[in-house]
Structure 1
């Protein structure tokens, strides 16, 4: 939050400095709004243009783009405005050096003046404000991180917790249904002798006496 406010203030201060710079002296007492935009491409002349055809127009455009970028929290727009302001100021300086043969600050005020510093400083402040702004997309991501759900695991790691995938299809390949398992887990009642009852002799067969054939009954 502090970074966002600081970046906005710095960017807006740079926009204000840039839009006010054409109303200050740029060189040898000549105001910035007295230079045509066409002078940047044809060479600096002595013609005084109207306000909308002077150096004030690109700097006003940079200031408006800065305000829009601060409102929507777009670092790209604010940085673009700073590049526009600095670019036109540097191009004007190059054309001035070609026309006068030297670009310097004279002690008597005949050289570069405060208006150029306003324009260049305003563009630099716009770039600094763009660097300080957190950006619209970054802010949204930070707010959404608080309630972000668990991400679904990839195909290479399906066994994760909490479970986020449905169980896969059965591996059964036969068209017939699988037989149900018998829930009874005790011994098979058809294998082995039946269990003895309390009213019967526990011996399933009569006891054979030693030396007697069980096929012939004893004589009385």
Structure 2
């Protein structure tokens, strides 16, 4: 239970950072919401994009997957959301590097901005949350007793085999053992006449 709580907090923090990142500067002061989603596949241009048609869209989808994964306690959904965030961020860096020739980091607002750091941090937090979460556990019975896999001791085991005849439950009891007699041990009628019992 504690692992699910900690993992959920990490996942929600990562999703929040990922969604907030497009509203920060990504490169040379240009915000992430200004990069069109299609530019990640065709090449970076200077044209502005609609927010829902920008890189913000996959990050919003990742946030929704995170919420669904937290509700369902699904580690796979949370991990997939983290892969989506990191995947689109890395793809953006590749396209910007191709357009600019190289990626730089500057303290005066040029180069990579804090929006990229938020996106990377959000993706890593999502993966950490998926690792920390324990996932869903199997529901136990209400009474807390385990299910019987064998019949109780006071009942004989059922034998449903058609080839073997059914036996009475007491056939295996100790007092049900058969006893054999020799024919010479059994007194006959003639022996009783020749050797009558003594009279008192």
**3-state SS, counterpart of residue 197 of structure 1:** coil
Larger relative helix fraction: 2
Q: Pick closer, same or farther for the CA change 1:25–1:148 going to 2, 3 Å.
A: same
Let me know the Cα RMSD of the aligned residues.
Answer: 2.7
TM-score, L = length of structure 2: 0.79
Structure of larger gyration radius = 1
1:54-133 pair list within 5 angstroms: 54-133=54-133
1:192-203 pair list within 5 angstroms: 192=192, 193-198=195-200
Q: Report the equivalent of 2:147.
A: 149
- Runs of 4+ residues over 4 Å off in structure 1: 160-164
TM-score, L = length of structure 1: 0.72
Cα distance in structure 2, aligned partners of 1:162 and 1:68: 49
Q: Pick closer, same or farther for the CA change 1:105–1:147 going to 2, 3 Å.
A: farther
Cα distance in structure 2, aligned partners of 1:53 and 1:163: 70
Deviation of 1:150 after TM superposition, in Å, equals: 3.9
Q: Report the equivalent of 2:31.
A: 31
Deviation of 1:6 after TM superposition, in Å, equals: 0.2
Does residue 166 (structure 1) correspond to residue 158 (structure 2)? The answer is yes
Cα distance in structure 2, aligned partners of 1:187 and 1:51: 108
**3-state SS, counterpart of residue 49 of structure 2:** coil
Deviation of 1:187 after TM superposition, in Å, equals: 5.5
**How many residues matched?**
177
Tell me the alpha carbon deviations over residues 40-64 of structure 1, each in whole angstroms, 9 at most, x when there is no partner: 1110000101111001000000001
Q: Report the equivalent of 1:140.
A: 138
Q: Report the equivalent of 1:188.
A: 187
Gaps of 5+ in 1: 154-159, 173-180, 199-220
Deviation of 1:5 after TM superposition, in Å, equals: 0.5
**3-state SS, counterpart of residue 147 of structure 1:** coil
Cα distance in structure 2, aligned partners of 1:162 and 1:126: 54
